[in-house]
Amino acid sequence: MSLRDQGDEIVVAELVEDGALVLVDEPAGRPLVDQHTVLRPGQEIPTTAEHGPGYTERDLYVSEETAAALEDVEAKDSGPRRTAMRGFEQWCAETGRVAVPCTTATYTEYGRHLMRRNLKVSTIRNYMSLIRTSMPEGQQPDNSLYLRLLGDYRRKNKRASRRKEAFPITLPYLVPMMLKAEEGDRPIGWRDAAMLAFGYRFLARSIEEVDLDIEDLTVLDDRIKVWLLEDKTHNDDQTLTLHDHPDILLVKRMRRWLEYLATQGVTTGPLFRHLQKDGTVALGQRARIATVRGHYLRPQTVNERVKHWFSAAGLVGDGRPVSSHGLRAGAATDLGMNDATDKEIAEAGRWREDSPIPRLVYVRPAQAAKRDPFSKIPRYSTEPQT
C-alpha cells in the first residue's frame, strides 16, 4: 500500500503481523525537507530514516458513520462547483488529460479553452477558482500562468470584462410584487411575500435566505432578530436586528407565514420551504422533493419566484437582468439614494468595512442618478427645435 509522508514523497510500506507499518526499500538518511521546512538552532535536519510513529490500520480508516457523513457533504456541494467541475472533467476526458488532481499545464490549458469561448472575465475567474479549490488538499495547480493569460485576455477583450449588474428592485418595484403575490390569499403567496420582504430588508444573498431555520428568527412587534451562523465576509455568528418599515410590513408578512407553517405542524426547520400544489407544506411521505437540499429551497427557486412576481406585477426594467440579487441591490440602492453612509450600507449588507462595493456599485450610481448638472443651464429658447 502507498502512504504520503510529511514531505509529500511517496513511500512504500507493508503491514506486519502486529499491525505496524514498516517502510521497505527506502534509502536511509536522505534529507526530508521542502520550502516550508523551518529548523531551530541545534535541530537536526530530518531524514527519511526518522519514520515517526508506527501507524496501524486503525489510524488509516474512518468509521462507516463518518464516511456516510463525508459522502453527504460531498453530495451537497455547491451547484456552481459541480457545474464547473462537470465541464472541466468532460473537457479533460475529450483531450485525454487527468482531471483530479490536474497538473498546472492542464489547468492553464483549460483556462485558455474558456477564453477561446469568449466568456466573461468574471465567469472564467469563477470557474477556475472553483476547479482549483476542488482539487485534493496540497495538490492544487499553480494558477500564476493562467492569471497572466487572463490579464492579457481582459486587455484585449474589453466587452468580456463588462459586468452586468442585477436590476435593483427598489421599493417602487418591491411593493407591487408583494401585493401581487398576496392576491388570492394563497399560502404560496404568503411565503413569497414574506420571502421578498425579508430578502430586501435583510439585503440577503439567496443562499443565506434559504439556509435559515425558523429557530434563527425572533419576531417582535416592530422588528425581527436574525441569528446568522456566518456569511461570506464573517466567520463568526451574528445576531442582526431588522427594524420594520411601513412599506415593507416585514413583521406582519413573516408572522402570517410562520402562523401558517404552525397550522401545518411545522415549528422548526427550514424557514422557506417547498409547498405542494394544494398549498400544504411538503412533509414526510407526502413530500416529493427531487433536490439534494431536501425541504430547504434552492437559491435558484428564489430567483425564479422573483422573476415570476416581477413579470406578474407588469413591471418593466431597464435591460439589466431581473434576479433574486436584485432584492439586495434594490435595498442598497434605496439606502444610497437616501443619503445612507458607506458604513451604514456596508453594515446593512454585511460587506467588509473596507469593501469598495457599496460606494462604487450602489452609492455613487444612485447619487449620480439624482444629479443632472445640465439642469443648471438656463433654457436658451422657448421656440421648438426644427
Tell whether 135 and 212 lie within a shared domain.
Answer: no
Tell whether 37 and 83 lie within a shared domain.
Answer: no
Type of residue found at 366: A
* C-alpha pair distances (Å), 337 with each of 52, 275, 359, 361: 64, 37, 12, 12
Is 147 domain-assigned?
yes
Count of the separate structural domains present in the chain:
3
Q: How confident is the model at residue 20, as a pLDDT? A: 42
Q: Which among 27-41, 51-65, 131-145 has the top mean pLDDT?
A: 131-145
Tell whether 4 and 118 lie within a shared domain.
Answer: no
Is 381 domain-assigned?
no
The C-alpha atoms of residue 263 and residue 266 are separated, in whole angstroms, by: 7
120 compared with 73, residue with greater pLDDT: 120
Q: At what angle do helices 342-349 and 325-337 cross, to 10 degrees?
A: 160
Type of residue found at 376: K
**pTM flag (> 0.75):** no
Residue 371 buriedness (CB in 10 A; 0-12 / 13-18 / 19+): exposed
Supply the Cα-derived Rg of the chain in whole angstroms: 28
Contacts of 211 (CB under 8 A, 6+ apart): 296
Range of the domain at 105: 73-161
Q: How confident is the model at residue 232, as a pLDDT? A: 61
CB 247 within 8 A of CB 171: yes
Tell whether 176 and 151 lie within a shared domain.
Answer: no
Lowest mean pLDDT, pick from 232-236, 277-281, 311-315: 232-236
- Residue 224 forms beta bridges with which residues? 219, 242
The C-alpha atoms of residue 267 and residue 305 are separated, in whole angstroms, by: 24
Q: How confident is the model at residue 165 (pLDDT cuts 50, 70, 90)?
A: confident
- Tell me which residue of 141, 70, 149, 80 sits closest to 112, measured CA to CA: 149
